[in-house]
Structure 1
């Protein structure tokens, strides 16, 4: 195992990797409940989508661990499933079966681009400053996501966002979780994030805010209602509207995955000479998981930014991802136990990881305005638009512009000019 995953080379061990895998799984376990519920609004069978979600996550995480040797867990993407359910199916009236076909095609296109090396070249063409900005932006984004899900931050008509109800027991539980995890981190407790989540869950059960599971094992539901529908309805995708759907899946998944990969690689210290090692393998894993997920019956599968929680615990190799896959597979049989993983439990992990990730801003040369502008917009717009992909798009449009105006156009990779043009077209015709 040490030789296959290169544990010593990455200065880690089996115990650390297992702890990291458990932490990553717990941080992203909410997808097991949120994804089926969201896709169920389209008319898809709830239990079938649950099984499809698990299987897509298992396959994707296994591929990421065994092929790419990265500590990244995969599962159906939250922003992508929202687009699938509420835009493609609800607003545009496209049947969920046809929408799944669109997901399948986008995954196949990704595989082709990955095998050709185009996706890896694109990621390596991104300047270091923007990679650091992406990492910092995702840090702010997931911290905001955690605070929002826990009700600590809420919507407000006057100020857009505001402080939530601190007299609410679920909110207080999340606040307790953040405080106890901060204490664990400050005293350098090994696995502080994981133990912070565990402590929060236990306290939640003791005070009655988290239901104590009455059942441990349950039967595995059938995936038959959704299995294969993406293949059966491939003939329905040849319309201008479906072309837009596929392109949107393509854009969002491409840059969500790229952003997550860059963020995790930076945090783990993998990036050398502004290049992400084994990027092609990790991108192939992501693409293959999307294809498998679509066939089983779920929206686009992508790399999860919550993987940074496992990296923060010490995960450095694919063994972390394999542990994530094992945990997902066990969830098929022990789904009642996952009920204790509420937003109050995951919020401390997301907030602490956000704190750790924003350290990337220290590597950005803010004294150079041509660099500061795109980096600033990457970070700010991720939060304000609640979209990693949108933040990347806006920042990447500004980068070539400011660099050219500064006379540094030769330092801009040609791919960045192409990406700027594509993003502009994306905002004109798609958004």
Structure 2
């Protein structure tokens, strides 16, 4: 029955290969179970609730992807999107987490409509490729900055605004060791390097604690109660429903939130799905991918599921390439990944007690490094492009806001293009976005 549905032979795979690929993809993505609760908790959300929301929404989204599109791709709350959710929408704009979840729900509906209507290609053609690359790289730098700040390697300084903290402090030292370990594993091409880096760092954290060299808020888990938990925290489920009141009380703020979420989700998802589809061999010589629209549909539904469960936008993960690299070619790979995410809810106390800020810092830094690599394809010889990409990246960090970084990039690109006398070549979309962002930057709406 499974062979008839997933067509193993046609895709050059088999049942055993798909199972192994699914397990591998889960291990490569599992770090999000520790990172997401830590990050969203800074926005006032309960860490336990976020853990369950992350595990359940990821599991459901993966299973939907596997059944609907039959793509071997795992989904979970996106790195970068969770930073946008916490540090820009909640902390930067002053919204409650309920309102932020409502914004995720609406943005996912819009993304679903974009997918169904078939206007994705038109939107892709509006935005310059270099700006897309710059935004992705900027988010990578922002994630790394968050990781270094959270563990105390980077600290506030009254003279220079930022400075380097004491590397001999327990949190900073543990994070630094974790970064080195994870980087070495990744360089050595160890499968699921980020996840295993987190596990090794967490174990070292326990040793630190046992020796009396505390590493932050890490606690020694009480086994077996810390291993198995049946007390599922559902406090965040449908939490977005109470956020619509605040969301619609400030329309300009609402527009900026929705735009930022849709924009980042749209281009992150597009790049990931097309790249993974090509790796699977699903894209032909003309650039057309089989069932790609169903994959986009699954991704959009995953975002809706995430907002209902109580987490930031769920999207496709490039880490799925690890399972694909082992031969995963059908939706069964994604389904196995989803089942493992759901089963992980029983290990919440253990994960939450081990994966604290000093431990998850390594994951943020390594993911940041991987995201910054894409700027190699930027047309640096073009000063307009170079200026807009540079301002996008640096302003994300200096303003502590992904949306402000995007705004600066578009405004600089528009001004630079006008200065070169090529303003007639700018698409109407760039004109509209530049005007909106100028209003946003100068009037703070």
Q: What range describes the TM-score normalised by the shorter chain of this pair?
A: 0.7 to 0.9
Structure 2 partner of 1:24: 29
Q: Hey, what does 2:313 align to over in structure 1?
A: 301
Aligned to 1:424: 438
Contact residue 262 and residue 276 of structure 1 kept, 8 A? no
SS in 1 for 2:229: coil
Q: Please, what is the CA RMSD of the aligned residues?
A: 4.1
**Mean Cα deviation higher: 107-116 or 126-135:** 107-116
Can you list the C-alpha shifts for 1:353-396, whole angstroms capped at 9, x where unaligned? 33333232222222211221111112212222233332222212
Paired residue for 2:428, among 414, 426, 429? Answer: 414
Q: Does 1:334 align with 2:347?
A: yes
Q: Deviation of residue 155 (structure 1)?
A: 1.9
Q: CA deviation at 1:176?
A: 1.0
Query: Please, which of 84, 90, 113 is the counterpart of residue 79 of structure 1?
Result: 84
Moved over 6 A (4+): 4-9, 96-99, 275-279, 312-320
Q: Deviations over 1:391-419 (max 9, x none)?
A: 22221222233223323445533322232
Gap runs ≥5 in structure 2: 210-214
Q: Aligned equivalents of 1:129 and 1:206: distance in 2? A: 46
In structure 1, what is the Cα distance between the partners aligned to 2:133 and 2:99? 38
Q: Counterparts of 1:152 and 1:313 in 2: how far apart (Å)?
A: 33
Q: How does 1:312-391 map to 2 (within 5 A)?
A: 322=335, 325-338=338-351, 339-391=353-405
Q: Structure 1 CA distance, aligned partners of 2:146 and 2:264?
A: 15
Does the 8 Å contact 1:101/1:233 carry over to 2? yes
After superposition, the Cα gap between the structure-2 partners of 1:112 and 1:202, relative to the gap in structure 1 and judged at 3 Å, is: same
Map of 2:169 onto structure 1: 168
Residue 263 of structure 2 corresponds to which residue in structure 1? Answer: 255
Deviation at 1:74, TM superposition (A): 2.4
- SS in structure 2 opposite 1:73? strand
Q: What is the Cα deviation at residue 265 of structure 1?
A: 5.9
- How many matched pairs? 414
Instruction: Look up the match of 1:157.
Output: 158
**Distance of 2:58 and 2:200 partners within structure 1:** 26
Inter-partner Cα distance in structure 2 for 1:418 and 1:84: 22
Once the two structures are superposed, residues 147-167 of structure 1 have per-residue CA deviations (whole angstroms, 9 ceiling, x without a partner) of 122221122222122112212
Equivalent residue, structure 2, for 1:205: 206
Contact 1:193/1:352 (<8 A) preserved: yes
- Structure-2 separation of matches of 1:393 and 1:283: 26
Cα displacement (A) at 1:190: 4.5
Write out per-residue CA displacement over residues 67-92 of structure 1, whole angstroms, 9 at most, x where no aligned residue.
5644542268343245665577xx67
Specify the alignment match of 1:180 in structure 2. 181
So what's the TM-score if we normalise by structure 1? 0.77
Alignment of 1:203-282 (within 5 A): 203-208=204-209, 209=215, 210-214=218-222, 215-221=226-232, 223=234, 227-228=237-238, 230=240, 236=245, 241-261=249-269, 264=272
Equivalents in 1 of 2:377, 2:296: separation in Å? 25
Distance apart, 1:57 and its partner CA = 3.6
Q: Per the alignment, do residues 72 and 137 of structure 1 end up closer, same or farther by CA in structure 2, a change over 3 Å counting?
A: farther
Residues 48 and 354 of structure 1, relative CA distance in 2, 3 Å threshold? closer
Alignment of 1:63-74 (within 5 A): 63-64=64-65, 67=68, 69=71, 70-74=73-77
What is the distance in 2 between the residues matched to 1:146 and 1:87? 18
SS of equivalent to 2:403: helix
Rounded to whole Å, the distance in 2 between the matches of 1:246 and 1:4 is 46
- With 190-199 and 281-290 compared, the bigger mean Cα shift is at 281-290
Tell me how far 1:289 sits from its aligned partner.
3.8
Describe the SS at the equivalent of 1:333.
helix
Distance 2:197 2:324 in 1: 15
> Residues of 2 paired with 1:250 and 1:5: CA distance?
43
Query: Structure 2: how far apart are the matches of 1:360 and 1:269?
Result: 18
> 1:117-160 deviations in whole A, cap 9, x for unaligned?
34553234322222222232233222222212222112222212
Aligned-residue offset at 1:20: 3.6
The SS at the match of 1:154 is strand
Stretches of structure 1 that go unaligned for 5 or more consecutive residues are: none
Offset from partner CA, 1:83-107 (integer Å, 9 cap, x none) = 665577xx67x8x767765654444
Query: What SS is found at the alignment partner of 1:162?
Result: strand
Output the CA distance in 2 between the equivalents of 1:325 and 1:128.
32
